[in-house]
Structure 1
Amino acid sequence: MNIPDFRVEPAHFRADHDDLLIIFNVNKKPNDAPDSAADIINPLSIYVIARDNQHQPVGAGELTSAGTIEGLAVIPKWHNQGVELALLTALIDKAAKSGLTEIKAQAVESHKALFEGLNFRAVTQNEPGIYSLSMTQAPVSQPSSRPNPKPAPESIEPVKMESLMAIMEASIQLISSARRQICIISKDLEWPLYAQSAVIEALKSFAIDNRNSLVMILIQDPNALNGRSHPLIDLAQRLPSSIQLRTPTEMEDLGYPSAFLLSDQRGYLFRLNNDQAKGDWSPCLPSRTKQLAELFERLWQRARPCSEFRALNL
């Protein structure tokens, strides 16, 4: 059976905690006790995870800070579908970007051909199954399903948006282009936009892939979310150092009618009315972005942390 519809994305030891545990325990025998989180999840490691088109985890890989591939696991029905190769290639790419000069792995028998096909070589005959890869011999990584954004020119004229789909596509493009900071103001993190998996995945990738990145979100009516699970709130609780939530305290700020999203690459998306799927955006329009960034900074400084959504660390 061929099941090609999957993707590989960066994983975080908190944000993807439960899914990583499921995958890394998948090869346990029925009578074996599953390993605990302390035995499996290492906050210092780099993780990647494969998901199907229903966002369910189907495989995962781990690269330790010492440059060793400790985990490479795929659920049985996804074996021989290319998931192992995609995970391993992603880990090699992560190692190269981290500045490692060599990575090692202990390959099980079924993975030996896979490792050898990616230029891994056996270390010594005295250490069967131990393979090493010099990063100077690393293969070119496979194209990502999330292409790197092209460098933005100095200024791009704004484009009108008349539909929710257009707003979502523009939002994802702005998030994907950002490097250090994203600013969002929304009345109640409207579900048709900020609860959609494509937007959530873009924000998670931004937070994990970019060191010292920060998503700053102003929610004008957090009480509208009480008692209702929201994927973006859940992500913020799992990545509290990368995603911060505040709510206005001044009546003028609470009544601000518009919504917008800003990228530190001088791009913006603006909707005059938070309740309407109409607005304009540009991937790079410095004058307009600066104006909105100054407004956001004033609102942010007057706002308070959203204690309504505070969660215990895992």
Structure 2
Amino acid sequence: MNVHGEITIREASWIADQHDIIAIRDSVFIKEQGVDPEIEMDGLDTLSSTQHFLVFVEQQAIATARMLETGKIGRISVMAGYRGRGIATALLRYILRHCLQNTPLDNVYLHAQIGALPLYTKCGFNSEGEVFTEADIEHIKMNMALSTQDSLAHIYRDSVIRLENAKGFARHIELITRAATRHVDILSHHLSTQLYTPEFVSALSYFARTSRQSAIRILLHDSKPLASSSAPIVSLAQRLPSSIKIKVLNEQPQKANQGYTIADSKQIVFFNNETQMQGFANYRAKLEAEHQLEEFEHLWQHYSEEDPNLSLLTL
């Protein structure tokens, strides 16, 4: 991105930031594109469920967008002097990451001006239906399913997303599990429910039941916490034994604090230290994932065994 000065993108408040938001949209939509002010100011901005976003270069607001409760992204606008520099793409990716991290939305959509189709296609949106006219400008509806591998790769690209708390780790573990199509491999100390949440178990269950090729391997340092509780993951493995296998290490690896969840040998959530919650997520990490899977395969084949205490638990 070739922008002079530091770029900052943040969630905005209509009450606190409406002056900047209105100034940008007035310049782009009303003055440049000739949109009727009554159409532009449609009454949805003030709703508590509407989320607004602003982009700044240094201290100057130069772009904005909003998202409605329905998942409709709109009012994407960049001041004339800052176009062609990747601002809109960066803003859109910020909004999509925000959706994944902070909302329950599975899908988002927008009404794209025909001239902006390449921007939205590059970010992973797909067009739907026929061209229509909105505010005297040709548009087409575009959709994006957030929890697919292609979407996650478009949204996060090859970014290394640093993680330092259970909530962040848990969300990314859930995301790559939900998007998996063939196999999920997990190395964990004891499958802490802070990290491997009910949402993760639900995603794993969905994957195991809907993908004919699903293969899930879970390798633990310590199975006692699972064996001493009615862990949903154990019940799921008992119900789906052909898809889900759980084994326990009988010899500790050199880097005992490390762990990971890997989906389809290309997306990874990695713990440098699982106990201290230090690590990262990467959605285009084929080489890193394959490297870790070499170790995983070695441990799975030669240094692990099934725990009879898990298989004996009653459903």
TM-score (norm 1): 0.49
Which structure carries more relative contact order (alpha carbon 8 Å, separation 6+)? Answer: 1
Greater fraction of residues in strand: 2
